[in-house]
Structure 1
Amino acid sequence: MTDTARATMAPPIDVRFKIAALWTSLMFIIAFVDIFAHLRADVVTDVLAGKVAVFTVDQTFLIMTTIYVIIPSLMISLSLILPPRANRWTNIIVAAVYALTILGSCIGEVWIYYWLGSLIEVLLLMVIIRYAWKMP
């Protein structure tokens, strides 16, 4: 390999950084899909009536929703600091659970933007599982 070719090659990226970047991307998509939902008249009407889908907006709902967002937010850091074995299994389990919850949230949804965001979220989670599974 020539010096020029070697100089233009990107250094390898540690799998932990790849996983952390995937969790970060996932969080942005989750946030924006939810923000965009609040531009929909049906969602705004339901929220003003104290409902989100089949849930009543109350302390319990807001605490559970906060926990739901805290977990993948923490996965960004945990992917970088957990020891390898804990890192692997935590990423695999959390990503699998979130993929199932995202697919479940699509039941009854008719808006294409929501399906697109959910599809990308699930794909990111599948890549996280793949990287975690192959983690050295």
Structure 2
Amino acid sequence: MRTPRSRTAPENPPPRSTLEDPRMPVRAKLAAAWTSFMFLYIYVDYLALYKPGFIDDLLAGTVHEFDTGPTFVAVALTLMAVPILMILLSVTLPARVNRGINLVVAALYIPVSLFNAAGESWTYSYFYGLSIGLEVLLLAFILRSAWTWPRRRPQQA
């Protein structure tokens, strides 16, 4: 004689479904990393405005002991424009060129990020240490993603 099944708790619950985890294209990873880098880069500059005396120095025409003349503005624009353009280039360039440019630019921006902290006061060392550490981590991710770009196997005849 069979005993009736309980309707409240099934004997074999259905297996939990696994989340789909499709492989993200390298181009998308690179563009996302450059976008994250730019947000961080911009917010570090923005938050620096809150340091006591920074606005006074800026109004007096200096930033970190540099004159804010045309050369400084051109260099600052270039330093911002390159990572901004890398977002677009990462999704549009052919794979071979894309890989090379990402490796070169990310490698060059590691010392740029480190130089940005030069001459900062120790009272803001946590702020600059954290921001530069995050920037370097993002650049390392870009380097790794570009370096390990998957290769297509040649078709055999």
TM-score (norm 1): 0.91
Deviations 1:33-56 (A, max 9, x none): 000000111322211110011310
| CA RMSD of superposed structures (Å) | 1.5
Answering whether residue 140 of structure 2 is matched by residue 126 of structure 1, we say yes
| Cα contact 2:64–2:119 (8 A) shared by 1 | no
Counterpart secondary structure, 2:23: coil
AA at the equivalent of 2:51:
R
Equivalent residue number for residue 90 of structure 1: 101
Between the aligned partners of 2:107 and 2:23, the Cα distance in structure 1 is: 26
Change (3 A) 1:44 1:88: same
Q: 1:20 aligns with which of 31, 41, 48?
A: 31
Hey, what does 1:31 align to over in structure 2?
42
Structure having the higher Rg: 2
Deviation >6 Å, runs of 4+? none
Q: How many correspondences in the alignment?
A: 133
Report the AA paired with residue 131 of structure 1.
S
With over 3 angstroms needed to count, the CA separation of the structure-2 counterparts of 1:51 and 1:10, relative to structure 1, is: same
Percent identical among aligned pairs is 40
| Structure number having the greater helix percentage | 1
* TM-score relative to the length of structure 2: 0.80
Q: Offset of 1:3 from its aligned partner?
A: 9.8
